[in-house]
Chains A and B, each alone.
Chain A
């Protein structure tokens, strides 16, 4: 990065933080601070929802995912539009009618205080830990790329978000997110176009598609019904529907976004437009990864994308072995480039025999390349025990640093910071809202005035931000922490989803039944975690099902008792 990049990066960050702080000023009451006075138009609700969901890892990792695995990850989002429709029918009018600040407030109306408090507590556990990872994951990559200290990067991102989120609350979060998402998408599209224009001059857009397709990367839809496949149309439509129903319907970091809509109409339209735009947006981000993949068929890709880690390994006795492997890698690339050109020729001639023959040769070369990369990773792993040699997340940012012109590098770095900030801001805002409204105001200090609760919310926002930064610093010293937080998420999400599904759709189940069902479900999940080998992704389904089934059983028993007693 040169001085132009640094100027663009810091000016963009400073403008966003200043804008958020200024726009969010004057929120004197709790309505203004936690709901932004319900003043957002539908398009701002939509952008805010999209910016919340798209974290920095989305933009760093998704192109890398397409680079390695093709575009099949897109199917994961097919259930999202359906979830938007269902929530527009049920949750949006309900939350607006009850004038709630948080999703959990509704649970008191539907069930009772103890169920509300339980759901709020589970959410705080889940989201409180994940806010640390939302900051930590991009900090890890940015600190490597920018050669910054990891703790400094964590504190830098956390503090920037804290400034405008504490001072302006929901309004500041939503107002900044519309610009953040605009900058993010503009930066990503520019990066994709740059990758395309850097391809050999005679390759057209369609040929880039065809080349990626022949290499097995345009695997957008898989209609086979295979439960062992993580991504196919069925897991996307069914699994995705449940996942997004719980995320958008029961997670305050998203509920808080559409509760800020001016009316039911604006909130609904915000959600529905998210349903219309999310899949194409993911398509664009994945396709950028494909363009980077096609680009690297004609340009030498790094043998290992995390350059900083490789440099460290080169300081050890394994440097010679790595250099030798790099030599082999260079030779393979010369063959690969020739075969890529042959493949393009075969595609142009539209000769299936020639295409198949060229594809097979190309696949053999790719296998050799993969083997060399694996050996390099092994060497790095041996040289630096405990290091993470998964370099997929570095593919896109390494490409940006190496091939984008100065100025755009600064813009793309700003994109990653923006994405980290926008999702973190929503999480902090949701944590503060839930702590204030569902715990502090409801159960600890019930007689405070508006000013007191605004002040408390600000303290809670700052407190959660500091907690997130501290957790991110500890994460630095722990192995597999991202997986650990995913496990924590799975431990709590299923139970929360079960409570909300029962609240929305199962009128038969009442307060005591759902509360005890939720307690038992959570205990079963905790037991599964400590004493069984059940895959943690299944905790979501198990937790949800146990809540619903036990809710029915407990309610039935309670009804029988009532009948006997009467």
Chain B
């Protein structure tokens, strides 16, 4: 097991990039679901 707590993540240069990505995907999903809710009623 690696002990390096500052391992460089893949794709993004820092872990913050990943955290923002996950939160942005959640925000995008909520917007899409909100649009679906209001479009199909």
Output the least CB separation between A146 and chain B (Å).
Answer: 36
Q: A218-B37, A220-B34, A233-B30 are in contact. Are A88 and B15 (CB under 8 A)?
A: yes
Of B2, B3, B25, B40, which contacts A212 at CB under 8 A? B40
Complex CA gap A190/B30 in Å reads 26
Contact yes or no, B23 A221, CB < 8 A? no
Output the least CB separation between A290 and chain B (Å).
Answer: 10
A305 interface residue per 8 A CB criterion: no
Point out the residues of chain A lying under 8 angstroms from B39, CB to CB.
Answer: 213
Contact yes or no, B26 A264, CB < 8 A? no
- Per-residue CB proximity of B1-41 to A under 8 Å, as 1/0? 11111010110000100110011011001100110110111
Which residues of chain A in 66-96 are interfacial with respect to chain B, using CB atoms and an 8 Å cutoff? Answer: 74, 78, 81-82, 84-85, 88-89, 93, 96
Closest A-B pairs by Cβ, 5 of them: A213-B40, A263-B2, A220-B33, A218-B40, A221-B34
Output the least CB separation between A482 and chain B (Å).
Answer: 29
Point out the residues of chain A lying under 8 angstroms from B36, CB to CB.
Answer: 209, 213, 218, 220
Q: Which residues of B contact A (CB under 8 A)?
A: 1-5, 7, 9-10, 15, 18-19, 22-23, 25-26, 29-30, 33-34, 36-37, 39-41
Point out the residues of chain A lying under 8 angstroms from B34, CB to CB.
Answer: 220-221, 223
- Per-residue CB proximity of A258-280 to B under 8 Å, as 1/0? 00001111001100100110011
Number of A-B contacts (CB under 8 A): 84
**Nearest A residue to B38, CB-CB:** A221
Consensus secondary structure, chain B interface: helix
A210 interface residue per 8 A CB criterion: yes
- Per-residue CB proximity of A206-226 to B under 8 Å, as 1/0? 000110111010111111000
Point out the residues of chain A lying under 8 angstroms from B3, CB to CB.
Answer: 96-97
Q: A85-B19, A221-B30, A272-B18 are in contact. Are A265 and B2 (CB under 8 A)?
A: yes
Output the least CB separation between A71 and chain B (Å).
Answer: 8
Q: Of B4, B5, B30, B39, which is in contact with the most chain A CB atoms at under 10 Å from its CB?
A: B30
Point out the residues of chain A lying under 8 angstroms from B10, CB to CB.
Answer: 265, 269
Point out the residues of chain A lying under 8 angstroms from B5, CB to CB.
Answer: 93, 96-97, 264
Complex CA gap A513/B19 in Å reads 34
Output the least CB separation between A99 and chain B (Å).
Answer: 7
Point out the residues of chain B lying under 8 angstroms from A78, CB to CB.
Answer: 26, 30
Point out the residues of chain A lying under 8 angstroms from B19, CB to CB.
Answer: 85, 88-89, 272
Point out the residues of chain A lying under 8 angstroms from B15, CB to CB.
Answer: 88-89, 268
Point out the residues of chain B lying under 8 angstroms from A263, CB to CB.
Answer: 1-2, 4, 7
Contact yes or no, B4 A221, CB < 8 A? no
Of A85, A99, A222, which contacts B22 at CB under 8 A? A85
Q: A93-B5, A263-B2 are in contact. Are A272 and B22 (CB under 8 A)?
A: yes
Complex CA gap A357/B39 in Å reads 18
Point out the residues of chain A lying under 8 angstroms from B37, CB to CB.
Answer: 218-222
Contact yes or no, B26 A216, CB < 8 A? no
Contact yes or no, B1 A221, CB < 8 A? no
Number of interface residues of A (CB under 8 A): 38
Complex CA gap A265/B12 in Å reads 12
**Nearest B residue to A210, CB-CB:** B40
Of A85, A96, A220, A223, which contacts B1 at CB under 8 A? A96
Output the least CB separation between A491 and chain B (Å).
Answer: 31
Contact yes or no, A276 B33, CB < 8 A? no
Output the least CB separation between A133 and chain B (Å).
Answer: 30
Point out the residues of chain A lying under 8 angstroms from B7, CB to CB.
Answer: 263-265
A127 interface residue per 8 A CB criterion: no
Q: Of B5, B19, B23, which is in contact with the most chain A CB atoms at under 10 Å from its CB?
A: B19
Contact yes or no, B30 A265, CB < 8 A? no
Complex CA gap A134/B15 in Å reads 35
**Nearest A residue to B20, CB-CB:** A85
A458 interface residue per 8 A CB criterion: no
Point out the residues of chain B lying under 8 angstroms from A262, CB to CB.
Answer: 1-2
Output the least CB separation between A237 and chain B (Å).
Answer: 9
Contact yes or no, A276 B22, CB < 8 A? yes
Point out the residues of chain B lying under 8 angstroms from A264, CB to CB.
Answer: 2, 4-5, 7
Contact yes or no, A99 B25, CB < 8 A? no
**Nearest A residue to B18, CB-CB:** A272
Contact yes or no, A216 B41, CB < 8 A? yes
Q: Would you mind naming 9 contact pairs between A and B with Cβ atoms under 8 Å apart? A: A209-B36, A210-B40, A212-B40, A213-B39, A216-B41, A218-B41, A220-B33, A220-B37, A223-B34
Complex CA gap A222/B10 in Å reads 36
Complex CA gap A210/B38 in Å reads 11
Point out the residues of chain A lying under 8 angstroms from B9, CB to CB.
Answer: 265, 268-269
Output the least CB separation between B11 and chain A (Å).
Answer: 10
Contact yes or no, A279 B29, CB < 8 A? yes
Complex CA gap A264/B18 in Å reads 14
